[in-house]
Amino acid sequence: MPRETTYLELSDGKSHKFYEVTINDVEVTVRYGRIGDAGKTTVTSYDTSEKAQAEASKLVNSKLKKGYESAQKGDRTKQPISRSDRRLARLNHLRRTGWKPLIKPTLDAPFASKYLGKPWLSPGNAHPNCSRCGGSLNFHFQLNLQELPESLQGKVGAGLFQLFTYFTCYLHFPEAVAIPEAAKSTPSIGNSQFKIQLL
């Protein structure tokens, strides 16, 4: 497969940046930054050239939807950094990695991370009730802390993190539950499961 490069720019008074995607067989190279700068570069390898092509098309289309346009390198020149950009740069030390849930229908399992469905309850424990009025709590999600991304493993403990609410009393009930050592997941048809992905 011949080397193929798509070069995009976004320059609208607020932004002045470029996005470049290059496909070389099974490798996809992405370069991005302010127009006129070298920018940052990431290289990702895929199993096949078809998968690389599909991912490159997905990246390009996502930028086109955000207002980027095909451009010729060098047509636009570098612009000085605005005062607002300098203000934002002072806040860079406050940036933190963000994570988003990827939700998809799948087989349910007692200890799986899930959105809605049935929470896992310790043997002998009934579904929790509101401590104020005694009403049955609404289950929202369950997160298996052992399924967190590798960079977060061991930083927030182990077991299940479950969130219940009760809107009548406007209360939230986060709870951490330990998973029995000998417990095994038994798949059964259920609701959605979600995993965590880096933003």
Q: Are residues 72 and 8 in the same domain?
A: yes
Domain containing 193 equals 99-198
Give the CATH number, domain containing residue 63. 2.20.140.10
Q: Are residues 107 and 74 in the same domain?
A: no
* Each residue's pLDDT expressed in tens, for the chain with a length of 199 residues: 678 999 999 988 778 899 999 999 999 999 999 998 889 999 999 999 999 999 999 999 999 999 999 998 888 877 776 666 667 777 777 777 777 777 777 777 788 888 888 888 888 888 888 888 888 888 988 888 888 877 777 777 788 888 888 888 776 666 666 666 655 443 333 344 444 443 3
Q: Are residues 116 and 67 in the same domain?
A: no
Judge whether 167 and 138 are in contact, CB under 8 Å. Answer: yes
Residue 86 structure tokens: 């300098």
pTM above 0.85? no
Q: Are residues 191 and 158 in the same domain?
A: yes
C-alpha–C-alpha distance, residues 48 and 85, integer Å: 40
Q: Are residues 179 and 163 in the same domain?
A: yes
Residue 59 is predicted with a pLDDT of 94
Domain count, the chain: 2
Judge whether 116 and 139 are in contact, CB under 8 Å. Answer: yes
Judge whether 112 and 179 are in contact, CB under 8 Å. Answer: no
Q: Which of 60, 78, 94 marks a domain boundary?
A: 94
Q: Are residues 86 and 105 in the same domain?
A: no
